[in-house]
Amino acid sequence: MASDTRPVVFSTNAIHPDGAALLAPHAEIVVGPDTSDDTLRAGVRAADAVIVRAKLPSGVFEGASRVKGVVRHGVGLDFIPVAEATALGIPVANLPGSNTQTVAEYVFAALFALRRPLARMDARLRADGWNPARSLADGTQEIGATTLGIVGLGAIGQRVAAIATAGFGMRVLGASRSGKAPAGVTPVSLEDLFAQSDAIVIACPLTPETTGLVSAGLIARMKPDAVLVNPARGPIVDTAALIEALKSDRIAGAATDVYDVHPVPPDSPLFALPNLIMTPHGAGITATSMRAMSIGAAEEVLRMLKGEEPKNLVNPAFRKPAA
């Protein structure tokens, strides 16, 4: 039975048992029953530290005088109102690199699902027989020796590029804020990347600058047989423009793990698109990455509860909270 004197760690969602086991001797772990704004606000107010797997609402730290630190169970910081935490003197950490391989593997799983749809072939074989199923192979495409465009060349973008070049012999183009690219990647403008690529991967973070970055104009530059894969964040892509391009067969297909609204509303027009592969924000989640992220989050929380700064502090300005 937990002691009332132990600190409380509020986790918006359950974490891997190995991460929980690290925390259990030192803190009481409370997992929210849901991720509604009211539940999240109440959980944060009663916590000494917070592990974030769901998007926190604005103003969530108001009245949260006990909170000594917040850790993103993953990388993307758009789930946390970092500026609000900073203003209140609350340190925030994330776990860079914790799901890089997982997301990179998702990208290629999506590319293969778009280019070599084995599940569709399997279903046709079972329903209609050998020859109808075999005929589907005639329209499939190899990804080797094609051009892959990557928007964002951080850890995930670079890992995707390495797999593409070394594993499949793809030509890789890259567009990034710095305009620089690692070895094996040709830096180009966004306009040229969308015009020249056979497949495009979105790998940049969501920021005010990247919101709506993949515009109708850029999508219109894509080749008719090109595909788009988005494991990053939904608002980076103009959803209406993507829907129109897919509905009109202006592009060959797309795969998306992220959306403007999570969960996707049941009446969303996305569900009616047969050339779109939809997954429920799981690109960064495998048993392997969940364990790594949960252990990493637990370790950072324990540092914060001891009054130490986390290894992956993202808001050093917290040390001088606004008046």
* Whether residue 232 sits in one domain with residue 144: yes
pLDDT at 1: 34
Other Cβ atoms closer than 10 A to 126: 9
CB atoms within 10 A of CB 295: 20
Question: Distance between CA 136 and CA 254 in Å, rounded?
Answer: 19
Token duo for residue 56: 């926190």
In terms of residue numbers, what domain contains 72? 8-98+287-319
pLDDT reported for residue 320: 74
Q: Residues 57, 187: one domain?
A: no
- What pLDDT shows up at residue 234? 97
Same domain for 74 and 184, yes or no, is: no
Question: In this structure, how many other beta carbons lie within 10 angstroms of the beta carbon of residue 138?
Answer: 6
Q: Are residues 109 and 128 in the same domain?
A: yes
Q: Classify residue 77 by its DSSP letter.
A: G
Q: Is residue 1 part of a domain?
A: no
Regarding whether 93 and 38 lie in a shared domain, the answer is yes
- pLDDT category of residue 3 using cuts at 50, 70 and 90: very low
Question: Would residue 200 be called left, alpha or beta, if left means φ above 0 and alpha means ψ between -120 and 50 degrees?
Answer: beta
Residue 2 maps to a domain: no
pLDDT of 321 > 80? The answer is: no
The domain spanning residue 31 has which CATH number?
A: 3.40.50.720
Within this chain, do residues 66 and 155 fall inside the same structural domain, yes or no? no
Q: Where are the alpha helices (DSSP H) in 79-208?
A: 82-87, 100-115, 118-128, 130-135, 155-162, 168, 190-196
Nearest CA to 110 out of 241, 234, 282 is that of 282
Average pLDDT, the chain: 95
Indicate whether 264 and 141 sit together in one domain. yes
In a domain, 291, yes or no: yes
Q: How far apart are CA 277 and CA 77, in angstroms?
A: 25
Q: What is d(CA 94, CA 276) in angstroms, rounded to the nearest whole number?
A: 31
133-137, 176-180, 203-207, 297-301: range with lowest mean pLDDT: 176-180
pLDDT value of position 2: 42
The model's pTM is 0.91
Q: Are residues 137 and 154 in the same domain?
A: yes
Q: Is the residue at 86 inside a domain?
A: yes
Distance CA 24, CA 171 (A): 48
* Interatomic CA distance for residues 276 and 260, integer angstroms: 16
In this predicted model, what pLDDT tens digit does every residue of 183-221 receive, in sequence order? 999 999 999 999 999 999 999 999 999 999 999 999 999
Overall size of the chain counted in residues:
323
Residue 322: the pLDDT is 52
Are residues 68 and 47 in contact, defined by beta-carbon separation less than 8 angstroms? no
Look at residue 3 and tell me if it is in a domain: no
- Inside any domain, residue 221: yes
188 and 202: one domain? Answer: yes
Please tell me whether residues 30 and 170 are part of one structural domain. no
- 22 inside domain: yes
Extract the tokens encoding 257. Answer: 């793990």
Nearest-angstrom CA–CA distance, 206 and 75: 11
Q: Look up residue 112 and give its amino acid.
A: F
Q: What percent of the chain has pLDDT over 90?
A: 95
Cα dihedral angle (213, 215, 220, 222), rounded to 10 degrees?
A: 20
Instruction: Tell the residue number behind the tokens 């190899």, with chain if given.
Output: 142
Among 19-28, 90-99, 144-153, 314-323, the least confident range = 314-323
- Check whether residue 177 and residue 41 sit in a common domain: no
In a domain, 252, yes or no: yes
In angstroms, rounded to a whole number, what is the distance separating the alpha carbons of residues 125 and 131?
8
The share of the chain scoring above pLDDT 70, in percent, equals 98
Do 93 and 113 belong together in one domain? no
Could you give the number of structural domains in the chain? Answer: 2
Residue 211's nearest CA partner among 190, 235, 229 is 235
Q: In the prediction, which pLDDT does 323 show?
A: 52
- CA–CA separation, 154 vs 229, rounded Å? 16
Q: At what angle do helices 287-305 and 100-115 cross, to 10 degrees?
A: 150
